[in-house]
A and B are shown apart, each in its own frame.
Chain A
Amino acid sequence: MKESTLMLLQYLTGVGILILGAFHFALLSFAGGGYSNAISFASVLSVYMSFGLVFELFLVFLTFHIFNGFRKILVEIYQGALYQKTVTWLMIVAGAATFLWGTRTILIFLGVLH
């Protein structure tokens, strides 16, 4: 993939994180009963049930943004073809593992997995 395509995705996921993050904080602060009620077990569970797909989208954005950003930093600090290839693949594997683990957590909360 071209570097400009990766960077475009980096910017778009950044904006996505900002929007969904703001939504997340708004949900905690303003939805019925304020912050103390928002972090009660029953409330958290109901939020997860209602916004499962949104959380999954948030996870996709975060995973790409974090690991692509990390790759960019590491590739800039040191050079070399083998090093760059290794860093890229490490980030892909780490990103995939994070995404799968996060998805598993979301699916457990949604009651799909036990």
Chain B
Amino acid sequence: MQRTEFEERTENVSVKVFRYDSSSIKKAKFDTFIVPVKKGMTLLESLLYIKERLDPSFTFRYSCRMGICGSCGLVVNGKEKLACKTQMETLGKSIEVRPLNNMPLIRDLVVDFSSFLEKHKKVKPYIIREDVDKNPDREFKQLPEEVNNYLIFADCIKCGLCYSACPTNATDELYLGPQALTQAYRFIADSRDDGQMVRMNIVDTNHGIWNCHFAGSCTDVCPKGVDPAFAIQQLKTLAIRKSGFLKKKRPAAPIDKRREIAEHS
């Protein structure tokens, strides 16, 4: 029998996916699907193939398909990955896909991000300054070196992979987690920010920075190259030193008059 061009270029891969439905009798189980994988196909495309052709009830979360939105985080063969950034040919012939750890399940591969996002909000992930209202017409300039202090941590897309991989989050549900702590450091390291004391009081607690055991799995799984383990160790150093980093930020710079004139002319 002659094979079609499509068949010749594909390879069948067994994809075992976790299924969960709170309304069914057997709430949790694994289903295995055979997916014809083409060169260049991502895991997300495989999951879409399952949903479109094999089982429309299969549920998972995704959006941008290009590693920006952070919606398609999953545990693939025991390691946290973004489905859209994972090439099928790197995963072998048999794949096991599970939902992210340390978050409550909603359905199949979809988990509830509420507590994760609450913790993110808790560290006040925004610039805090007292002199903003006093100087509404001023700008807060930064040198390139000052931007470099926090730039790597600003790449976080809140995908939750680090939170899922963190062994402390598995035992301590109140632990702020690598994502929130990294964002706390991201703003503390920002030369425009003056909210260090406020944030240090939030992270220097029983379920804050000191519960990090420096396993490093957060950094290992981060799809954007953010280094949460490093950020948490930096926060520990700052908490121990207590001084130096707390010095007042320089005041807002007056607007460059030449630029203002140029813009209005």
Could you tell me which A residues sit within 8 Å of B by CB distance? 2-4, 7-8, 72, 75-77, 79, 84
Scoring B residues 118 to 153 as 1 if CB is less than 8 Å from chain A, else 0, what string do you get?
000000000000000000000000000000000000
Report how far A76 CA is from B172 CA in the complex, Å: 6
Q: Are A79 and B174 in contact (CB under 8 A)?
A: yes
11 contacts between A and B (CB under 8 A): A3-B205, A3-B206, A3-B239, A4-B204, A4-B239, A7-B210, A8-B240, A75-B206, A76-B168, A77-B171, A79-B207
Q: Complex formed: what's the CA distance from A9 to B261 in Å?
A: 57
What residues of chain A lie closer than 8 Å to B206, measured between beta carbons? 3, 75, 84
Binding site of A, secondary structure by majority: helix, strand, loop or mixed? helix
The reply to whether B172 and A3 form a contact with Cβ atoms under 8 Å apart is: no
B interface residue numbers (CB < 8 A to A): 168, 171-175, 204-208, 210-211, 236, 239-240, 242
Which residue of chain B is the closest to A4 with respect to CB atoms? Answer: B239
Known: A4-B239, A4-B240. A79 touches B172 (CB 8 A): yes
9 further A-B pairs in the complex, CB-CB below 8 A; given A4-B240, A76-B171, A77-B172: A3-B206, A3-B208, A3-B210, A4-B210, A4-B239, A72-B210, A77-B171, A79-B172, A79-B174
For B240, list chain A residues within 8 Å (CB). 4, 7-8
The interface residues of chain B lying within 8 Å CB-to-CB of A4 are 204, 210, 236, 239-240, 242
> Contact check: which of B204, B205, B211 meets A76 at CB < 8 Å?
B211
The smallest beta-carbon distance between B102 and chain A, in angstroms, is 14
Bound-complex Cα distance A77 to B205 (A): 15
Q: Specify which chain A residues have a CB less than 8 angstroms from the CB of B172 in the assembled complex.
A: 76-77, 79
**How far is A3 from B239 in the complex, measured between Cα atoms in Å?**
9
**In whole angstroms, how far apart are the Cα atoms of A8 and B204 in the complex?**
12
Which chain B positions have C-beta within 8 A of A75?
Answer: 206
Report how far A18 CA is from B117 CA in the complex, Å. 42
A92 to B219 alpha-carbon distance, docked (Å)? 36
Q: How far is the CA of A84 from the CA of B174 in the complex (A)?
A: 12
- Smallest beta-carbon distance A3→chain B, Å: 5
Docked Cα-Cα span, A3 to B206, in Å, equals 6
Provide the residues of chain A in CB contact with B207, threshold 8 Å: 79
A77: chain B residues at CB < 8 Å are: 171-172
The CA-CA distance from A4 to B172 in the complex, in Å, is 19
Q: How far is the CA of A64 from the CA of B206 in the complex (A)?
A: 17
Who on chain B is nearest to A88 by CB?
B206
What is the CA–CA distance of A7 and B171 in the complex, to the nearest angstrom?
A: 20
Of chain A, the residue at the smallest CB distance from B242 is A4
**A residues in contact with B242, CB < 8 Å:** 4
Bound together, the chains give a CA A75 to CA B205 distance in angstroms of 12
CA distance A7 to B168 in the complex (A): 17
Report the Cα distance A4→B211, complex, angstroms: 11
User: How far does the Cβ of A87 sit from chain B's closest Cβ, in whole Å?
Assistant: 10
The CA of A72 and the CA of B204, in the complex, are separated in Å by 13
Centre residue among B168, B173, B204 by max chain A CB count within 10 A? B204
A84 to B205, CA, bound (A): 12
Of the candidates A3, A4, A7, A75, the one having the most CB atoms from chain B within 10 angstroms of its own CB is A4
Enumerate chain A residues within 8 angstroms of B204, measured Cβ to Cβ. 2-4
Which residue of chain A has its CB nearest to the CB of B235? A4
Q: A76–B208 Cα gap in the complex (Å)? A: 10
